[in-house]
Amino acid sequence: MLSEQEIIAENKAIAKEYKELLRISYQSLTEDDKKLIRLAFDTAVEAHSDQRRKSGEAYIFHPIAVAKIVASEIGLDATSIAAALLHDVVEDTSYTLPDIERLFGPIVAKIVNGLTKIAHLKKDMNISQQAENFRKMLLTLNDDVRVIIIKIADRYHNMLTMDSMPEYKQLKIASETLYIYAPLAHRIGLYNIKTALEDLSLKYTEPEVFNDISDKIEESKEDQQKYIDDFTSSIKDSLAKEKFKYSIKGRMKSIFSIRRKMLKQQVTFDEIYDKFAIRIVYASAPEDEKFLAWKIYSIVTDHFTPNPVRLRDWITSPKTTGYEALHITVMGPKGKWIEVQIRSERMHEIAEKGYAAHFKYKHGAQKEQGIDLWLNRLQEALENDNINAVDFVEEFKLNLYSKEIFVFTPKGELKSLPKGATPLDFAFSIHTQIGSKTRGAKVNGKLVPLNTPLHSGDQVEVITSENAKPTQNWLNYATTARARSKIKTALKEAKKPLLKKVKKYSEES
């Protein structure tokens, strides 16, 4: 039992957290927004009043922390902040869903219901069960995409506060996070959270490795800063001459990605040359962004020799996650290759907060075009019962983490595909009917086999025939989850008449 003094101190701390939540909200909050958030806060405080976390602190600190992540690090609206405050109320307290709808309306209730459904999924270490849970969880996107985003914020806070849990639970939650939540955060464009989830997972799955790399990063911080200062001093006069408003910072690669490189390249920490990148973020009017990015590129390459094969132009062709930037690798001070990322403040904002920061909901319905496209593709995959859950997750993750290429249709429209995609993948990305009727393909005007890997800049033309239909071999030619899913469905449908005949024949005999 807490003493009276401890209760007073705890209540003061809760009130302080609430004020902080309103202060750090990324969105500008109206008076109605503040009333909604206040009601959600008061309801959550009352509902969780008798509950405490494993660490001993009042449970209410958890939903407030999740709401703070949603408000500042992801940048969602007041509806999302209220839903985050209430995300465990129906699951863990006497409040019911009708109570939430009566108090907060149908949209908040729908999001809380989606979060409650996820909470009810079985928590099993079995991979096939995890995969099935993953598919079921994604089905909550039918309710509202904010369900998944708030769930990612919830998992992020749980990962930050796992120290008081038993080791077996830490391992289980960390493994599930790497398997499910980090890929989702990546695809929604929440790069900062995705990186944190991967690093925190490594902290519990391989603590010695995590601590070793973490210590080495700390030791090299002074050298990094000196390198950034040397780089900045070389170009600051040229940038000042052009009257740029900018900032230059260094960004260390994550512990998880350094570990992945060490394993992949079979090298030590000291042997990885590109452990950190330099980021130039500049102020710009929207119409000048592209011009100014290339102007900064010109200044950097006037001072440092660029590696021509390492130029990445994601301003002309943004990633499907919405990411925009110019990436160049130059021979920097001390003869070291260094990646330089050039972004406007708007591009930086998208990179930091992903699509979520820019959702402009009107009555809970309006979403940005890019996320809509992804959700539509995802929905098609989810509705396909012919693929088993483990295959679905593996293909989903494969497409998530693969690098992108950009190819052209015969009319000059730009299409994004994962690296390694083939003309067959391209055909299915245009339309299922076109994919299913593919007879051949031309790349840059020349006939090519359907399993030919495509490259950025290729112009692809699909040749169709009414008589063409998917064959088993097509599964060796297709790499994207969409194409493979559609091919498997077609093959299964084609077998049905044959199975009927066999059944009929066996019954007659």
- Per the structure, the count of domains in the chain is 3
- In a domain, residue 415? The reply is yes
Give the end of a domain, one of 295, 325, 353.
353
pLDDT tens for 271-314 read: 887 788 899 999 999 899 999 999 999 999 999 999 888 888 99
In this model, does residue 185 exceed pLDDT 90? no
| 92 labelled catalytic | yes
pLDDT, residue 28, reads 74
In this model, does residue 187 exceed pLDDT 80? no
Distance between CA atoms of residues 110 and 29, nearest Å: 22
Tokens describing residue 333: 């001070």
Tell me the β-bridge partners of 250. 278
- In a domain, residue 13? The reply is yes
| 229 labelled catalytic | no
- In a domain, residue 473? The reply is yes
pLDDT tens for 383-406 read: 555 556 566 666 565 555 556 777
Pair 58, 185 in one domain: yes
In this model, does residue 33 exceed pLDDT 80? yes
Pair 247, 157 in one domain: no
Here the CATH number for the domain that contains residue 228 is 3.30.460.10
Distance between CA atoms of residues 87 and 81, nearest Å: 10
pLDDT tens for 129-168 read: 666 667 667 666 666 778 888 999 999 999 999 998 899 8
pLDDT, residue 237, reads 92
Pair 160, 266 in one domain: no
- Kindly give, in sequence order, each residue whose CB lies less than 8 Å from that of residue 495, ignoring residues fewer than 6 positions away: none
- In a domain, residue 282? The reply is yes
- In a domain, residue 393? The reply is no
Cα distances (Å, whole numbers) of residue 98 to 35, 52, 83, 102, 459? 20, 25, 14, 6, 54
pLDDT band at 451 (very low <50, low <70, confident <90, very high): very high
Amino acid found at 360: K
Task: Flag whether the pTM goes above 0.95.
Answer: no
Pair 226, 348 in one domain: yes
Chain-centroid distance, C-alpha 486: 24
Give the end of a domain, one of 325, 353, 381.
353
Give the end of a domain, one of 334, 353, 372.
353
Amino acid found at 341: Q
Here the CATH number for the domain that contains residue 143 is 1.10.3210.10
pLDDT band at 346 (very low <50, low <70, confident <90, very high): confident
Map residue 438 onto helix, strand or coil.
strand
- In a domain, residue 366? The reply is no
Which one from 57, 92, 206, 212 is the annotated catalytic residue?
92
Cα distances (Å, whole numbers) of residue 134 to 119, 130, 474? 12, 6, 27
Pair 127, 176 in one domain: yes
- In a domain, residue 380? The reply is no
Distance between CA atoms of residues 504 and 509, nearest Å: 9
Pair 72, 186 in one domain: yes
Pair 338, 479 in one domain: no
Pair 181, 222 in one domain: no
- In a domain, residue 208? The reply is no
Write the burial class of residue 486 (CB in 10 Å: 0-12 exposed, 13-18 middle, 19+ buried): buried
Pair 340, 262 in one domain: yes
pLDDT band at 479 (very low <50, low <70, confident <90, very high): confident
pLDDT, residue 386, reads 53
pLDDT, residue 490, reads 87
As a whole number, the mean pLDDT across the chain is: 84
Which one from 91, 349, 394, 404 is the annotated catalytic residue?
91
Distance between CA atoms of residues 16 and 29, nearest Å: 18
Tokens describing residue 119: 């909470």
Pair 223, 167 in one domain: no
Distance between CA atoms of residues 16 and 56, nearest Å: 19
Here the CATH number for the domain that contains residue 475 is 3.10.20.30
Distance between CA atoms of residues 8 and 369, nearest Å: 49
Q: What distance, in Å, lies between the first and last C-alpha atoms of the chain?
A: 78
Distance between CA atoms of residues 86 and 41, nearest Å: 8
Host domain of residue 436: 402-508
Pair 177, 221 in one domain: no
Q: Is the Cα dihedral 207, 211, 212, 214 positive or negative?
A: positive
Pair 224, 185 in one domain: no
b/e code 286-296 from CB counts within 10 Å (16+ = b) = eeebbebbebb
Distance between CA atoms of residues 473 and 255, nearest Å: 40
pLDDT, residue 361, reads 27
Range scoring the smallest mean pLDDT among 314-318, 360-364, 436-440: 360-364
